[in-house]
Structure 1
């Protein structure tokens, strides 16, 4: 308990010291690493952003979705599955009633 109270007192002391150093220092000086951005010549005549594309809200229908695992006939014809086979499920023996 004594150690905890000493640590809290030390933290408060360091915080008070930092606040006094900050308050006694002069006004803050902020440096800017890069020059401010300038306007492109002729920017007033050009549009600022491209217009929004018109969307229909529908999925594209030119490419049908493919199943992750092709049916057996397609696999026999040489189609490769997109995903590896799923691991076998681990099944525990049924719980016996007492």
Structure 2
């Protein structure tokens, strides 16, 4: 019963809306309609300044880095001379006792 009432109300609302839209298109413009105002055309953007092209890449070439990269773990000779590792030692894996069967 409620569904039928809602359906009839919806159809009536659609009918009233369509009737109003049809009557407005036949009349002169009302106060609700406004004239759109166009904007002036935009100026073309200036060309960007030309800069030097990037350096040509070479296959297998050296990558310049500043400062020079260093290994995280110095080799044995460097460690003997006093070089410290950059990274702390990795933690040992933690293992739990086996799960007891019930």
TM-score by length of structure 1 reads 0.38
Larger Rg: 2
TM-score by length of structure 2 reads 0.37
